[in-house]
Structure 1
Amino acid sequence: MKAIDLFAGAGGFSTGAQMAGIKVVWAGNHWPVAVETHAANHPDTQHVCQDLHQADWTKVPAHDILLASPCCQGHSKARGKSANNPQHDASRSTAWAVVSALEYHRPAFGIVENVPEFVQWSLYPAWRLALQALGYQVAPHIIDAADHGVPQHRERLYLVLSKSERPMMLQLPQRKHVPAADIIDFGVGNWSSVEKPGRAAATLQRIANGRRAHGDRFLTAYYGNEAGGRSLGRPLGTITTRDRYAVIDGDRMRMLRAEECRAAMGFPVDYRLPPQHRTAVHLLGNAVCPPVARDIISAIREAA
């Protein structure tokens, strides 16, 4: 089977497809850095760097499965979903490129990934009707990456599209949870003192709460609704597009390294990232977790 990857980003969907034995023949994204990163790790894939609203689908190779991760920022609770916000409206509109690609190529299957709030989009009913008009059944799956061996709790919506009589509800494996401790190296990184001058009072309070709950070694979130620490014996919380988690080791601390974020997303250890830490984290925070994509695609192949 062959696949194409829309809004390919760092390449999580493509990597998961390869893990499932699928050849990814084409990948598109509007951000040059994302395309360069994807190409460095998937050199045999044809790449295009452009707004996918303007893609010429006649130049896209034939394929059996379409993979797509339309922009989620306009749907996410973390970024706000206010109406009449031009940036968010433009973000949400990217989902229509999926319909355009499916209309031209009519592959047997598709998988669309987004935040669960995607189905609350005011145009979601019309978008879904467009898919159904093309002959696709739409089967929603809410999946936590931790249930697929990823050392991170990351709940996402995966819409499985199929040309079947009924929606294809998959029976997915439930894999053992991997603790954050498995991906953190205490022997490397840029550490600083917890009591460093200028450290925010809120940060110090979260660390104090974490110490009471977890001892000398634990994780703490720099933002979000985690008021205390997080045990190293459980998966991380969701990796985002900017540094979120700090590692606490006694009286020293540091932010997660890009390599640790890569492992937290389930990418292979040799997966190439941009050298700039901030750019690498941004790409990873927007990515699909490859093991989740692998399990979904494998289940589709078995059910087909």
Structure 2
Amino acid sequence: MKAIDLFSGFGGSSTGAQLAGVDVVWAGNHWLEAVGVHALNHPNAQHVCQDLHQADWSAVPAHDLLMASPCCQGHSKARGKKSGNPQHDASRSTAWAVVSALEFHRPAQAIVENVPEFLEWSLYPAWSAAMNALGYQLAPHIVDCADLGVPQNRVRMFIICTKSKAPLFLNLPKHDHVAASSFIDMSAGAWSLVNKPGRAVATLDRIASGRKQFGDRFLISYYGSTKNGRSLERPIGTITTRDRWAIIDGDRMRMISVDEVMAAMTFPKNYHRPSTSKLAVHMAGNAVPPRAMAEIITSLRMAI
């Protein structure tokens, strides 16, 4: 089976496809640095750096599976959104590139990944009607990636698009959850004192709450509305595009490392990364966890 990857970013979907035994032959993204990193990790695929609204689909190799992760910023509630925001409108419109690509190549299957709020998009009925007009039945799956073996609670939507008489809902596995302690190295990283001068009161309050629940060793969210700690014996919370999770160990603490972010996302240890930690966290936080995509593709192949 051959696949292409639209909005390929850091390469989570492509890496997951490889894990599932699928050959990724083409990848496209608008961000030059992301395309460069993707090319290092997937050197056998053709790469295009451009706005995919304007892609020349005739130059894309034949394929059996289209994978696409249109920009989620216009749909996600993570940072809120305002009605009529032009940036959000432009972000949401990237989903129409999926329709254009499918119209030209008509592969047997497609997987569209996004946040669940994608289904609430005001133009989703029109988008799904366009997909139906091309002969694709749509089966949205709302999945916590932790159920697919990813050591992270990350709820995402995967729409399975097939040329079938009815939508194809997959029999997805439900694995035992993998604890954050499986990838956090307590002997590594740059630690500082919890009670160092200048530590934010909100952070100290979160730590105090966490101590009451979990003792001396636990996780906290360094920003956001979460006010409690988080056990290391459950999956970590959602990895985002900036440093979010901190480890508390007695009177010391540190942010989780890039290595730990990569492990939480299930990227291989030898995966090539950008030159800076900040950029690596940003790209990884935007990615599809490879393990999750591998499980989705494997279940799809078993169902067809």
Whether these two folds match at TM > 0.5 is yes
Q: How far does residue 228 in structure 1 lie from its aligned partner after superposition?
A: 1.4
Q: How far does residue 143 in structure 1 lie from its aligned partner after superposition?
A: 0.7
* Corresponding residue number in structure 2 for 1:281: 281
1:74 and 2:70 aligned: no
1:272 and 2:272 aligned: yes
Alignment-mate amino acid for residue 91 of structure 1: S
* Corresponding residue number in structure 1 for 2:191: 191
Looking at structure 1, the residues matched to 180 and 169 of structure 2 have their Cα atoms a distance apart, in angstroms, of 30
Looking at structure 2, the residues matched to 96 and 13 of structure 1 have their Cα atoms a distance apart, in angstroms, of 19
SS in structure 2 of the partner of residue 225 of structure 1: coil
* Corresponding residue number in structure 1 for 2:176: 176
Q: How far does residue 272 in structure 1 lie from its aligned partner after superposition?
A: 1.4
Looking at structure 1, the residues matched to 87 and 45 of structure 2 have their Cα atoms a distance apart, in angstroms, of 30
* Corresponding residue number in structure 2 for 1:226: 226
* Corresponding residue number in structure 2 for 1:207: 207
How big is each residue's C-alpha offset from its partner over 1:154-183, in whole Å with a ceiling of 9 and x where there is no partner? 000000000001101000111111000011
* Corresponding residue number in structure 1 for 2:53: 53
Looking at structure 2, the residues matched to 254 and 36 of structure 1 have their Cα atoms a distance apart, in angstroms, of 30
Decide which moves more: 275-284 or 74-83.
Answer: 74-83
Looking at structure 1, the residues matched to 215 and 45 of structure 2 have their Cα atoms a distance apart, in angstroms, of 47
Q: CA RMSD in A?
A: 0.8
8 Å Cα contact 1:74-1:80 kept in structure 2? no
Looking at structure 1, the residues matched to 79 and 165 of structure 2 have their Cα atoms a distance apart, in angstroms, of 37
Q: Stretches of 4+ moved more than 3 A in 1? A: none
Looking at structure 2, the residues matched to 161 and 81 of structure 1 have their Cα atoms a distance apart, in angstroms, of 28
Looking at structure 2, the residues matched to 88 and 66 of structure 1 have their Cα atoms a distance apart, in angstroms, of 24
Decide which moves more: 222-231 or 20-29.
Answer: 222-231
Q: How far does residue 192 in structure 1 lie from its aligned partner after superposition?
A: 0.9
TM-score by length of 1: 0.99
Alignment of 1:53-202 (within 5 A): 53-202=53-202
Alignment-mate amino acid for residue 255 of structure 2: M
SS in structure 2 of the partner of residue 5 of structure 1: strand
Gaps of 5+ in 2: none
Looking at structure 1, the residues matched to 30 and 284 of structure 2 have their Cα atoms a distance apart, in angstroms, of 16
SS in structure 2 of the partner of residue 246 of structure 1: strand
TM-score by length of 2: 0.99
Looking at structure 1, the residues matched to 79 and 64 of structure 2 have their Cα atoms a distance apart, in angstroms, of 34
Q: How far does residue 211 in structure 1 lie from its aligned partner after superposition?
A: 0.9
Gaps of 5+ in 1: none
Looking at structure 1, the residues matched to 89 and 254 of structure 2 have their Cα atoms a distance apart, in angstroms, of 37
Question: What percent of counterpart residues are identical?
Answer: 66
Decide which moves more: 62-71 or 36-45.
Answer: 36-45
Q: How far does residue 80 in structure 1 lie from its aligned partner after superposition?
A: 2.3
Q: How far does residue 99 in structure 1 lie from its aligned partner after superposition?
A: 0.3
8 Å Cα contact 1:83-1:89 kept in structure 2? no
Alignment-mate amino acid for residue 9 of structure 1: G
Alignment-mate amino acid for residue 197 of structure 1: P
Q: How far does residue 270 in structure 1 lie from its aligned partner after superposition?
A: 1.3
Alignment-mate amino acid for residue 151 of structure 1: P
Looking at structure 1, the residues matched to 273 and 147 of structure 2 have their Cα atoms a distance apart, in angstroms, of 25
Looking at structure 1, the residues matched to 192 and 27 of structure 2 have their Cα atoms a distance apart, in angstroms, of 40
SS in structure 2 of the partner of residue 167 of structure 1: coil
Looking at structure 2, the residues matched to 256 and 172 of structure 1 have their Cα atoms a distance apart, in angstroms, of 30
Looking at structure 2, the residues matched to 144 and 104 of structure 1 have their Cα atoms a distance apart, in angstroms, of 32
How big is each residue's C-alpha offset from its partner over 1:201-260, in whole Å with a ceiling of 9 and x where there is no partner? 000010111111111111000112321110000001100001100011111111111110
Q: How many residues matched? A: 304
* Corresponding residue number in structure 2 for 1:7: 7
Looking at structure 2, the residues matched to 189 and 38 of structure 1 have their Cα atoms a distance apart, in angstroms, of 27
SS in structure 2 of the partner of residue 176 of structure 1: coil
Alignment-mate amino acid for residue 47 of structure 1: H
Alignment-mate amino acid for residue 247 of structure 1: I
Alignment-mate amino acid for residue 5 of structure 2: D
Alignment-mate amino acid for residue 289 of structure 1: P
Q: How far does residue 274 in structure 1 lie from its aligned partner after superposition?
A: 1.2
